[in-house]
Structure 1
Amino acid sequence: MALDGIFLKCLTDELSQALVGCRVEKIYQPSRDELVFAFRTTSGVKRLFLSARADGARVHITNMPPENPDKPPMFCMLLRKRLSAARLVEIRRVALERIAQFVFSATNDLGDEVTYSLIAEIMGRRSNLILVQDGKIVDAIKRIDFTTSSVRQVLPGEKYVYPPGQDKMDIFHTPAQTVQAALDASQKPPAKAAMDVIMGISPVVAREFAGGLTVRELLEYASHPQPFVLLENERAFDFTFLPVRQYGDLVQMKTYDTFSELLDFYYFERERRARTRQRAHDLFVHVTSLCERAHRKALNREKELADCADKDRLRLWGDLISANMYNLQKGSLFYDLQDFYTGEPVRIPADPALTPAQNAQKYYKEYRKKQVAEKMLTGFIRDAHDEAEYLETVLDAIERAESGSDISAIRRELADGGFLKRKNAREKAPKPLGPLQFVCDGGLTALVGRNNVQNDRLTLKEARKNDIWLHTKDFPGSHVILQTGGVSPSEQALHDAAVLAAFHSKGSSSSNVAVDYTAVRNVKKPSGAKPGKVIYTDYKTLFVTPTLEEAERLKKQ
């Protein structure tokens, strides 16, 4: 991760142009270490995302709608009281340190103008978001007392002191030849020397000096930066403000229009999956266990079913004994008879304690027992496979869940199906989540179900008969409805919707994913089927390779 001092300078310059002079409309705290400020601008609402997470501290404009907890945390309520309707007047930096200071002009309860600073310290596990007034700390998203740090406490009422600075050279305020001379004089490898001498660069930038990057070139790139993300096998692993040559052809570089857009892309997939996995870990383990049990149940029943394969032979033996009753005697260990159908000799085991008629009835009884067992086992196996298939779709939904609300909806679905005990029998049903919305070619809206219950509602109740229904052929995944409005969608619109179906499925990382599509009128739900299970006819198939970039493009249109 390369959110270094120079990158932060580029980012805050961009944020200043977009947000300075705008007023705060809403403030959210989606999680313990994250804030979202909604600003009213001339071009609409823009959301400023601030994070103090150790593995993802950053500030940038985001297009992702924030999750708003039912009960806001105390720090969020404090910010709402102090900064609601406040105007952002300036974004300051401290040299090339990873510190951004957002200065607000607000009005207190007496109507007097008050200045607040929300200071974002982006420093790994020591990252923090601190509200300061007149040099004193009002509060922080992370309070640091003497038990945590003997050097610097961050507590309400304490004087705010900047973290210790780096004794390095700022390329914007130090002559390039002076910085270059310090590098040339170092006895260390170029990358290590650059890290020791130059303020505000990350290891990925420092390694470029080993490939011949000069201080003047670095200054030129920093003065005219471009947002670059580095990808390996289409997975983003780093980002920076200059073109990177150290990896050669092993990685791809992708540029973005803004630094905020880059960070939104880089962190979205990584943090979404990490956060939902953390929230849903116990649920995922529970459903995985249920799924494995269903597979084992099916396997055991199939073994029992295999034991019924000889039932017709038992009936034949009973028929042969009955037909030859007059030639058979009690006390025999076996009967040597001739098969009706093949003419081949057949030796049939017999119980010497039973008469021939009793031996025949014994085989008829065993035949009927296995006949009934076969019918029951076939149903059990079908039910076990259906259950396993359903639970696979639930696991897919858990992996793709984007918020705690999604996880809650999945828990309720499992409880309704008897797969999970309810925490509170009197618990009020949450408001149903809306489907994910995208815009395909021609301005057609595509709706994507978040879970099986919503898939049913979307396909069977909300979609119109002439809308297009899409689903991956070979993977569990979401139902996708392309709303046609009575017009025939273009091939590109169908392709866009198919990409969404593939992306929101277990096959999201696969290539050439088969996606079936048909009119909604051709989709039916079998009687008694579990949530999300449908059958469809008169369909066609598209093959697409889903990517996060394409899914994001459709979301942002």
Structure 2
Amino acid sequence: MPLDAICLRAVLHELRPQLIGARIDKVQQPARDQIVLLLRGNLRLLLNAGANQPRIQLTNILRDNPAQPPMFCMLLRKHLVGARVLSIEQPDLERMVILTLQCTDEFGEISRKQLVLECMGRRSNLVLLDAQGRIVECLRRVDADLSATRQLLPGLFYHLPTPLDKLSLLSQEEDSLALAQRGGDAEQAVDKWVLDHYTGISPLIAREFAFRAGHETDVRFGALNDAQRGALVQEFSDTANAVKEDNYMPVILYRDGKPVDFTYRSIAQYGAETQVETRESFSQMLDEFYDARERQELSARRGRELTHAVTVARDRMARKAENLKHDYAATQKRDEFRLRGDLITANLYRMKSGEKVLHAENYYEDGCPTIDIPLDPLLSPQQNAAKNYKQYNKLKTAEFHLREQIEKAENERAYLESVLQELSQAETEQEFNEIRRELQETNYLKKSSGGKKELKRAFAPRTFKTSSGLEVLVGRSNVQNDQLTKKADKRDYWFHTQHIHGSHVILRCAGLTPSGDDLREAAMLAAYFSQAKESSGVPVDYCPVKFVKKPAGARPGMVTYDNYRTLYVTPEEGLAKKLFLR
């Protein structure tokens, strides 16, 4: 759900004691819509102006930053590094946050600036204002072509959005309660009516009002008796009091093991299929709710270009392999041309130049049946025989080369399938950059020419520990898969899903003999980081590293192995998270 105004007020109430007076040490922009302010005291304040998940919160999630910071990030660093937070305000019950900051400019003079976060769906934005209220810069510039009523451009004075013509439980409590007592038309749904007449209330809370009053989320006013109408008014009154007294409770809703919604109060409208859980803080709740979907969204955005390029190359290689197989099938009929040459040679004594067909007895078959052999009338009988022998030899030679080409095309297709699998599990910008470099080295992407040389950062594999304490390393890319296997101790164990694309997994034994549980947990990780992640009974081959070989000239990640055993395991996300070392 989007962060509604009352829930935003609850978040700000939680943040004020921690942020007021805090100093900004660093400014980061890990994604296009995200700004992270690193505050003294090891606090990380996230300002997200994305259309699907606008919010402000303290976060414990470490996000990768691009090698080159965007221009907006560099501008914020210039103005905000060293600034102190003076206040955090929310205009009435609007989905907006105004951070007032005490800054020091390049001349050492103290001034005030404001950072405004607008959490308004697709119109969400982040705006930096100077002391006079002029716009210094904004995350998304809005010109007259985008909005005829409200432009957001550097140099213009900033104006708050025009408030909606709705009642506020905070500033218009008496009018709000009076309207609730009158209610709506008999055929009007209670939750829709609440959304149409009150600001700051989300669809979830509107349905909760309807449910607590009429015991159904879609109840209409005509179905409410006097007691139920009184209960509806009481819901408005209780909510208004809770907002005025800043009495909130972080609540997150789970269904099928996944977070589906969150709010600031208890929820009773759902049945047993939805679990209602509370958290210690709103920031913890927001991290938990948005973590998985944010990673999926970032991965999809970062990997879209690479996935398209690899998919096109894979499909092209698949078509090439099919065409080669078709040509190879044609070479299996080459004996027909040799037969024609033999029969023409055997009947030269009765052939004449200019004939189009030779009716000859096939003495290679029982009964010597007569067959028709097409001839080129422009060639002599001897030349027709030579033509058929030449075609036979051509197809014989082609068979050998086509077999090699088919094997090469199949290997390339398999390699590209493995790259797609790595892309599907990549999460950080480093992982995507590593895969991009790999594709450039294998000539599937053009290398960037000129410009600033790209900074290569240390790129560590995923690290886990088994229940008994043995370390497990999981490769993040085909290149890293090769590096893991090459650098591993020959006594360590290597794991990979059988005939299924996935990461190489190394169980580091340190000279010890791994237990059955160690082997099963490492095999489970190999299955989890493969194309069979959602399957059960996945076959995983394992063997000592000394039996894993890299063929000369093979693509990254391609190896051969022998002396192996096979375990059948079912990937478990919970166990993978339990074993993961952050």
- Kindly state the Cα deviation for residue 434 of structure 1 after the two structures are TM-superposed: 0.4
Contact 2:466 2:472 in 1 (8 A): no
Return the letter of the residue paired with 1:7.
C
Residues 78, 305 of structure 1: CA spacing in aligned structure 2 closer, same or farther, 3 A cutoff? closer
Structure 1, unmatched stretches of 5+, are none
2:484 is matched with: 458
Structure 2 SS opposite 1:223: coil
- The 5 A counterparts of 1:488-507 are 497-498=522-523, 500-507=525-532
Residues 236, 351 of structure 1: CA spacing in aligned structure 2 closer, same or farther, 3 A cutoff? same
Q: 1:435 aligns with which of 451, 460, 477?
A: 460
Structure 1 SS opposite 2:249: coil
Return the letter of the residue paired with 2:202.
S
- The 5 A counterparts of 1:295-334 are 295-310=318-333, 333-334=359-360
Residues 77, 206 of structure 1: CA spacing in aligned structure 2 closer, same or farther, 3 A cutoff? same
Rounded to whole Å, the distance in 2 between the matches of 1:166 and 1:453 is: 55
Return the letter of the residue paired with 1:286.
A
Residues 457, 348 of structure 1: CA spacing in aligned structure 2 closer, same or farther, 3 A cutoff? farther
Residues 151, 367 of structure 1: CA spacing in aligned structure 2 closer, same or farther, 3 A cutoff? closer
Q: Is 1:15 matched with 2:37? A: no
Contact 1:228 1:242 in 2 (8 A): no
2:397 is matched with: 372
Moved more, 84-93 or 54-63: 84-93
**What's the CA shift string for 1:36-79, capped at 9, x where partnerless?**
112342xxx34222122223322223344333334433432332
Rounded to whole Å, the distance in 2 between the matches of 1:518 and 1:320 is: 58
- Kindly state the Cα deviation for residue 195 of structure 1 after the two structures are TM-superposed: 1.6
Rounded to whole Å, the distance in 1 between the matches of 2:516 and 2:15 is: 39
- Kindly state the Cα deviation for residue 282 of structure 1 after the two structures are TM-superposed: 4.2
Q: 1:185 aligns with which of 179, 183, 186?
A: 183
Rounded to whole Å, the distance in 2 between the matches of 1:143 and 1:177 is: 37
Q: 1:421 aligns with which of 424, 442, 446?
A: 446
Structure 2 SS opposite 1:529: coil
Structure 1 SS opposite 2:503: coil
Residues 137, 473 of structure 1: CA spacing in aligned structure 2 closer, same or farther, 3 A cutoff? farther
Q: Is 1:287 matched with 2:284? A: no
Residues 496, 34 of structure 1: CA spacing in aligned structure 2 closer, same or farther, 3 A cutoff? farther
Contact 1:329 1:355 in 2 (8 A): no
- The 5 A counterparts of 1:187-336 are 187=185, 188-212=188-212, 215=235, 223-231=247-255, 237-242=260-265, 244=267, 246=269, 248=271, 258-310=281-333, 333-336=359-362
Q: CA RMSD in A?
A: 4.3
Residues 293, 109 of structure 1: CA spacing in aligned structure 2 closer, same or farther, 3 A cutoff? closer
Q: Is 1:58 matched with 2:55? A: yes
Contact 1:4 1:201 in 2 (8 A): yes
Residues 159, 453 of structure 1: CA spacing in aligned structure 2 closer, same or farther, 3 A cutoff? same
Rounded to whole Å, the distance in 2 between the matches of 1:94 and 1:492 is: 57
Residues 203, 454 of structure 1: CA spacing in aligned structure 2 closer, same or farther, 3 A cutoff? same
Q: 1:409 aligns with which of 434, 440, 463?
A: 434
- The 5 A counterparts of 1:65-84 are 65-84=62-81
TM-score by length of 1: 0.80
- The 5 A counterparts of 1:331-410 are 333-337=359-363, 345=367, 347=369, 349=371, 368-410=393-435
- Kindly state the Cα deviation for residue 403 of structure 1 after the two structures are TM-superposed: 4.8
Residues 384, 352 of structure 1: CA spacing in aligned structure 2 closer, same or farther, 3 A cutoff? closer
Rounded to whole Å, the distance in 1 between the matches of 2:579 and 2:501 is: 22
Moved more, 384-393 or 432-441: 432-441
User: What percentage of residue pairs aligned between the two structures are identical?
Assistant: 37
Rounded to whole Å, the distance in 2 between the matches of 1:420 and 1:84 is: 39
Contact 1:524 1:534 in 2 (8 A): yes
2:497 is matched with: 472
Moved more, 241-250 or 357-366: 357-366
Contact 1:120 1:128 in 2 (8 A): yes
Q: 1:529 aligns with which of 520, 533, 554?
A: 554
Structure 2 SS opposite 1:200: coil
Structure 2 SS opposite 1:67: coil
Moved more, 254-263 or 392-401: 254-263
Rounded to whole Å, the distance in 2 between the matches of 1:243 and 1:516 is: 49
- Kindly state the Cα deviation for residue 88 of structure 1 after the two structures are TM-superposed: 3.6
Return the letter of the residue paired with 2:322.
L
TM-score by length of 2: 0.77
Residues 130, 503 of structure 1: CA spacing in aligned structure 2 closer, same or farther, 3 A cutoff? farther
Structure 2 SS opposite 1:10: helix
Return the letter of the residue paired with 2:46.
F
**What's the CA shift string for 1:342-369, capped at 9, x where partnerless?**
xx55647486999999999988766554
Structure 2 SS opposite 1:307: helix
Return the letter of the residue paired with 1:307.
A
Rounded to whole Å, the distance in 1 between the matches of 2:427 and 2:539 is: 24
2:119 is matched with: 122
Residues 263, 357 of structure 1: CA spacing in aligned structure 2 closer, same or farther, 3 A cutoff? same
- The 5 A counterparts of 1:21-170 are 21-41=21-41, 45-109=42-106, 114-134=111-131, 136-137=133-134, 139=136, 140-145=138-143, 148-156=146-154, 159-166=157-164, 168=166
1:449 is matched with: 475
Structure 1 SS opposite 2:554: coil
Structure 2 SS opposite 1:30: strand
Return the letter of the residue paired with 2:287.
D
Residues 307, 542 of structure 1: CA spacing in aligned structure 2 closer, same or farther, 3 A cutoff? same
Moved more, 142-151 or 384-393: 142-151
- Kindly state the Cα deviation for residue 35 of structure 1 after the two structures are TM-superposed: 0.8
Moved more, 327-336 or 507-516: 327-336
Count of paired positions: 544
Residues 302, 152 of structure 1: CA spacing in aligned structure 2 closer, same or farther, 3 A cutoff? closer
Residues 495, 336 of structure 1: CA spacing in aligned structure 2 closer, same or farther, 3 A cutoff? closer
Residues 541, 433 of structure 1: CA spacing in aligned structure 2 closer, same or farther, 3 A cutoff? farther
Rounded to whole Å, the distance in 2 between the matches of 1:197 and 1:491 is: 63
Rounded to whole Å, the distance in 1 between the matches of 2:291 and 2:141 is: 27
**What's the CA shift string for 1:112-146, capped at 9, x where partnerless?**
65544322221122222223454624523334455
- Kindly state the Cα deviation for residue 387 of structure 1 after the two structures are TM-superposed: 1.1
- Kindly state the Cα deviation for residue 401 of structure 1 after the two structures are TM-superposed: 3.7
Rounded to whole Å, the distance in 1 between the matches of 2:30 and 2:531 is: 27
Contact 1:448 1:479 in 2 (8 A): yes
Rounded to whole Å, the distance in 1 between the matches of 2:72 and 2:293 is: 26
Residues 110, 427 of structure 1: CA spacing in aligned structure 2 closer, same or farther, 3 A cutoff? closer
